[in-house]
Structure 1
Amino acid sequence: MTTHDTPTTGELTPLIEPLKALAHPVRLQVLQWLREPEDHFPVNPAVTDPRKVGVCVSHIQAKTGLAQSTVSAYMAMLERAGLVRSTRVGKWTHYRRDEERIAWLIEEMRGGIGSVELAAIAAA
């Protein structure tokens, strides 16, 4: 009989939703685009600052080429995971990365999974 060390769910719970959100290539791509919004989306400083307020969901939808409902669902998942924040500007929703939460997630993964394991995953 083999026994396995089973981590307590409570220790892993904060990592589960962000990792699920990052597991889809389009959600990961959007998060990467939002890192440098000026390079990937139309910028109109008279309307909003993409760094402070975010990028309009319609611009994200246009860049992905996906249906509005799909993009909205993807952004809602990223927001629930704490990876982006939303701001309403009139009737539009703008999204920006939550850099503090992303930094926290990276540190948790380094500590919880271990840098040796992360290096092996990255090399695979």
Structure 2
Amino acid sequence: MADELNPAELAAVFGALSNPARLAIMQWLKDPSDFPPQLEPAEQVGVCLKHIQSRAGVSQSTASQYMAVLQRAHLVTSTKIGPWVHYKRNAKYLDRLAETIKTDL
């Protein structure tokens, strides 16, 4: 099936999710309304990095590194609004991941 992820894509996903903090971030992003209010609706543009950083209890650079790993694995997408970067789950890719796991693993 053309929409299934290839072994390299699966390895990137599982590598990204092998870190407990990154796994927790993915779980948190499932419900953006659980984060503090922000100027732009989190459901549309994603959650601001500063809120992810605060919840994770890590430095800004560590939070950025975590999000970069998740983005390289296609698990999240980002939107830059002014100086702020917002992240949300990549629902289409997660659907493909779920289908691949269901059919191939």
TM-score of the superposed pair, with normalisation by structure 1 = 0.77
1:16 and 2:11 equivalent? yes
1:49 and 2:49 equivalent? no
Structure of greater relative contact order (alpha carbons < 8 Å, 6+ residues apart)? 2
Q: How many residues align?
A: 101
| Equivalent runs, 1:24-43 vs 2, <5 Å | 24-39=19-34, 41-43=35-37
* Structure 1: stretches of 5+ with no match in the other structure: 1-10, 114-124
2:74 matched to which residue of 1?
Answer: 82
Name which one, 1 or 2, has greater alpha-carbon Rg: 1
SS in structure 2 of the partner of residue 76 of structure 1: helix
Percent identity reads 42
SS in structure 2 of the partner of residue 51 of structure 1: helix
In structure 1, distance between residues paired with 2:30 and 2:94: 11
TM-align CA RMSD? 1.3
After TM superposition, the runs of 4+ consecutive aligned structure 1 residues lying more than 2 A away are: none
Deviation string, structure 1 residues 50-77 (Cα, Å, up to 9, x no partner) = 1110010011001111111111000000
